Amino acid sequence: MTAATARESVNIVIGGTGIEVISGDAGFLEMLHRQYADFVARDACPSIRLEIDVTAGPEAADAVDDDAELRVRREGNCWNLSRGDFEARYDPGIRRGVVRQSANRHSIDSVIRIIHTLTLANDCGFLLHSASAIRNGRAFLFAGRSGAGKTTLSRHVPPDACLLSDEVSYVRKSGAEFQAWGTPFTGELGTPGANRAAPIEALCFLRQAAENRLVAIGEPEALQLLLTNVLFFAHDAELVARVFDSAGEFVARTKAFRLEFTPGDRAWELVR
């Protein structure tokens, strides 16, 4: 595949926010079309633009060093983002950024996640380390660290439910209530979520157990557990405070439970 002679773009819309990724590398853009297929919008107006400088380098997933330090720091009005596999500079005032990376999908995926967290912090929302699904017109979040059971629960999603994500859920306040949006960010299941949204019915913290049961928990415990699963990468006191306030309002408005479950599909009988 030869590089494109003109710079072209892909508009990736997640949670109603469009990020236009601009590059002169045709192969890179084709990869983005495949990776974000259901989230690519050709007629929507993007609110954020990223210019990508694709450098020579490995494209395989194992080329990304999981132990490499991620740095997200503010310098003046801009954010500098860096890891072993990418460097980026983003100006939230004009919503423009430049990224230097190899043609690795995990690199651009990480940059997009970080920019969404920065944007959501100012928009009463956050990304959550959780699976999520819509059932009977309402969204349910299933939060937990790796090994808690997000993939297991997602693998057994019933036919009358719609999976929004098996790994990273998009939460934002809309009017008087919070909504969950589907994301293309995948975990072990490797399947992007549906590009849909619904008001959130409940937040469930996963715990594998010998039997299936749903146990209500109070706001203080829910807030503590929620904050351990919120994805936020910037060490910035002002934005951290805004995320904390959003999380506090979220648990005040949302029913929270501990979902104890056994492997299989029977746990979904408790989620309606």
Whether residue 14 is predicted with pLDDT greater than 90 in this model: the reply is yes
pLDDT, residue 144, reads 86
Task: Choose the weakest-confidence range: 11-25, 158-172, 181-195.
Answer: 181-195
- The structure's pTM equals 0.91
Average pLDDT over all residues of the chain: 91
- Alpha-carbon distance of 165 to 187, in angstroms, equals 8
The residue-averaged pLDDT of 124-129 equals: 97
Give the per-residue pLDDT at 262.
Answer: 87
Residue 61 pLDDT grade (very low, low, confident, very high; cuts 50, 70, 90): very low
% of the chain exceeding 70 in pLDDT: 94
Q: Is the pLDDT of residue 64 over 80?
A: no
Distance CA 20, CA 18 (A): 6
Given a cut of 90, whether residue 185 has pLDDT beyond it is yes
The band of 44, judged by pLDDT with boundaries at 50, 70 and 90, is: confident
Say yes or no to pLDDT of 35 above 50. yes
CA distance 122 to 240: 10
User: Would you identify the CATH topology of the domain 125-270?
Assistant: Phosphoenolpyruvate Carboxykinase; domain 3 (3.90.228)
What number is the average pLDDT over the span 206-222? Answer: 94
Residue 66: what pLDDT?
54
- Region 20-43: mean pLDDT is 93
| Residue 43 predicted with pLDDT over 90 | no
| pLDDT at residue 65 greater than cutoff 70 | no
The string of DSSP letters for 204-251 reads EEEEE-SS-EEEE--HHHHHHHHHHHEE-----HHHHHHHHHHHHHHH
Domain ranges of the chain: 8-121, 125-270
Looking at residue 67, what is its pLDDT?
A: 59
Token digits of residue 42: 């050709």
Please give the DSSP secondary-structure letter assigned to residue 254. Answer: S
Q: How confident is the model at residue 3 (pLDDT cuts 50, 70, 90)?
A: very low
Is residue 267 a contact partner of residue 215, using CB atoms and an 8 Å limit?
no
Beta strands in 8-155 (DSSP E): 8-14, 17-23, 48-55, 71-75, 78-83, 86-91, 96-102, 125-135, 138-143
The structure tokens 């259901």 sit at: 38
Is the pLDDT at 60 greater than 90, yes or no?
A: no
